Amino acid sequence: MFRYTLRQVEYFVAVADHGSLSAAADVCRVSQAGLSLAVTELEKAVGTQLLVRHKAKGATLTSAGRRFLTDARALLRQAGELQGTITERQGELAGPLAIGCYTTLSAFWIPAMTAGFAAPNPRLSLAITEGAPGELQEQLLDGRLDAVLTHTRHVVAGLQTQVIAGGRPYILLGANHPLAARRKIPLRELAGEDMVLLDIPSVRENQLPNLRASGLDPKIVWRSTSFEAVRGMVARGLGYTVLVQRPPLDLSYEGLPLACVEIDGEIGHSDICFAYPGGQRLTMRLQALMDFCVEEARRSGPPGRASSTS
């Protein structure tokens, strides 16, 4: 006979996630006194203190609490999956599905996943967290996410991947650039030209080494953490950039024309993929989402035309 309840475990995880009993109580829509009592009963059931309560300063996990948290997350996920599986066996997708999405992919893939996959399955609870690949994969390994949509170059060791679309880098130029009319450009022809860098960690850690390994040492003059700001600076003639995602219209936010040119020669790919823990049996709903995205890419070209074009 179990000496604790899933509700008690849920409250404990909420405190760990939100840093205080009061915040957790608000999220769980329960009184703070009720939540505190539930966590206390949980500690009695497992035989150890899980939280240190600080008056007016929230709560922190004990060492035992940190170890218990990983198992608690897994338990809640398994409970949710079990409930969803019962419905899925009747041919309907249902239950929780927590997905991480790399920020630069969000505008291209979240509309498709929500409108084309989640909306037609009302009993499915799709939650999407946006962020950097490293942070999202930490949450994945911590049990907070089922899978992460990212690039293959960003995937850490120990995770499996399902590629959903190719991702070959391309050169972006302003329409008036002397090379804009070319169909292909060797990277060496950009040597000495000003570059506008999409200044985010994954580009600095993956894209730049990829370019250098392919024979181009970029002369970085302008930077921005915004994908569209980079495209806008290129459209205004401030330099070139190298990207993977490609919006359907070759225009900046200001309506200025852009030219997308293929790289002539070898360049490392960075395919779009779902990453998930190795050795894990995929739920029906996660597999269905992956299949949907593969089909979406095959049917109309992936959002952003990533198969032909970070």
Structure tokens at 174: 């302003």
pLDDT of residue 28: 92
Mean pLDDT, residues 61-75 taken together: 89
Look up residue 170 and give its amino acid. Answer: Y
pLDDT more than 70, % of the chain: 92
Model pLDDT, residue 232: 97
Closest Cα partner for 192 from 212, 171, 217? 217
| Three-state DSSP state, 150 | strand
Give residue 87's pLDDT. 56
**Nearest C-alpha neighbor of 240 from the set 204, 198, 212:** 198
The pair of three-digit structure tokens given for residue 262, joined into one six-digit string: 């293929």
The H-assigned helical ranges of 47-93 are 63-88
pLDDT band per the 50, 70, 90 thresholds, residue 302: very low
Q: Which residues contact 209 (CB under 8 A, 6 or more apart)?
A: none
**What are 114-129's pLDDT values in tens digits?**
999 999 999 899 999 9
Gap between the Cα atoms of 181 and 193, Å rounded: 17
pLDDT in tens, 270-280: 899 999 998 77
Residue 237 is which amino acid?
Answer: G
Contact assessment for residue 172 and residue 243, using Cβ atoms and an 8 Å cutoff: yes
Per-residue pLDDT averaged across 52-57, rounded? 81
Distance separating alpha carbons of residues 43 and 205, to the nearest angstrom: 43
On whether the CB atoms of residues 158 and 137 are closer than 8 A, the answer is no
Model pLDDT for residues 148-185, shown as the tens digit of each residue = 999 998 899 889 999 999 888 999 999 999 999 999 99
- What distance in Å separates the CA atoms of residue 236 and residue 219, rounded to the nearest whole number? 18
Percent of the chain at pLDDT exceeding 90: 63
Q: Is the pLDDT of residue 6 over 80?
A: yes
Chain segment 206-245, per-residue pLDDT in tens: 889 989 988 899 999 999 999 999 999 999 999 999 999 8
pLDDT range class, residue 83, cuts 50, 70, 90: low
Q: What is the pLDDT of residue 99?
A: 97
Mean pLDDT of the chain: 88
What's the CA gap between 70 and 75, in Å, rounded?
A: 9
Give me the mean pLDDT over the 180-209 stretch: 92
Which residue is associated with the tokens 């940190």? Answer: 66
* Residue given tokens 């992936």 in the structure block: 302
Write down all domains in the chain, each with its CATH number in brackets. Answer: 6-71 (1.10.10.10), 93-165+271-300 (3.40.190.10), 170-263 (3.40.190.10)
What is the per-residue pLDDT for 310? 45
pLDDT over threshold 60, residue 59: yes
Q: 294 versus 95: which is more confidently predicted? A: 294
